[in-house]
Chain A
Amino acid sequence: MGAAVDHVIPIGMSRGSVEGNDKSQGQRFSSKSKLTALVVDNGGVCCAIQTALLRSYGVGTEAVETGGAAVELISSGATFSLIIIEMLLPFMNGPETAKQIRAIGAQSKVLGITAFFDERDQQEFLAARADDFIEKPLSLEIVIPIIRELNN
């Protein structure tokens, strides 16, 4: 795929304050095709921030609170360019969620995320075929390269 187009593509309407606004107007790497993301986190703060951050770069983002809800959503046909999964989730943990998501055929980039980086958790996530594992907060330094990568 070629480099991301340089001109600005108006991407969608903002959906209200807590969910963030679209800052992709004027960003140099607007998406050629619309990127989508799913945030899987049972913490309201992290959900709101990760969602807003991704949306500000034109990524259509949804959030769910459990691994089960994520699996259900994807099983029903929803596809996402990026899925961010918290390590400690109720009922079914992050790595188990990643495993099930891969098992139903999701080809998304899967990013495990956690409050406390732990090598065992990292291994568990990678064994479940997550692509990467990072410690919170989800920051611009992490998001921007991922979006670039997904655009190419």
Chain B
Amino acid sequence: MDGMTQLQRQWREHTAYLRKEGYLDDQFEQLQKLQDENSPDFVAEVVSIFFDDSEKLLNNMARALEQKVVDFKQVDAHVHQFKGSSASIGAMRVKNLCIEFRNHCEAQSLEECVRCLRKLQYEYSVLKNQLEYLFRLEQQIRAAGV
């Protein structure tokens, strides 16, 4: 009993922390509402798709920026997709960096794009760690509840 409430408190605190620090916004809460007994792993599954897609997009952006002649429109298309997916799961910091990134693509500024990509890679990896921790807590809560 004791262990269970402590885990739940940790989960609540961590979720509140992620909201407060702007890692996640209201959209994430909407996703959580779509999860219930009929789809108990919905959020984790969608986030898993997000992780796979994000890593592909970040690689594609990096490669596009390494080309001798950079196709900024191509980079922008990747940023577009990343902004769409991050906005859809409520990954606010990542989404905001995509907005910044787009401006650099439009200005065709290679240096700024590369710098922004590094920030994006960093923010994404922090978010990934935060969410994986959240899902580990959920798994522990479920295991304790059985």
Contact = CB atoms under 8 A, between A and B. Distances in A.
Q: Is A bound to B?
A: yes
A20 B85 contact: no
A115 B81 contact: yes
B36 A21 contact: yes
Contacts of B85: 43, 45-46
Interface in A115-152: 115-116, 135-140
Nearest to B54: A45
A14 B46 contact: no
B42 A18 contact: yes
Nearest to A44: B49
Contacts of B31: 49
Contacts, number: 91
B68 to A, nearest CB: 24
B132 interface: no
Size range of the interface on B? Answer: 20 to 34
Contacts of B87: 115, 135-137
A53 interface: yes
5 contacts: A17-B39, A18-B39, A43-B85, A49-B31, A136-B88
Interface of A: 14, 16-23, 42-46, 48-50, 52-53, 56, 86, 88, 114-116, 135-140
Interface of B: 27, 30-31, 34, 36, 38-42, 45-46, 49-50, 52-53, 77, 80-81, 83-85, 87-90, 98-99, 102
The list of the 3 closest CB pairs from A to B, nearest first, reads A21-B38, A115-B84, A17-B39
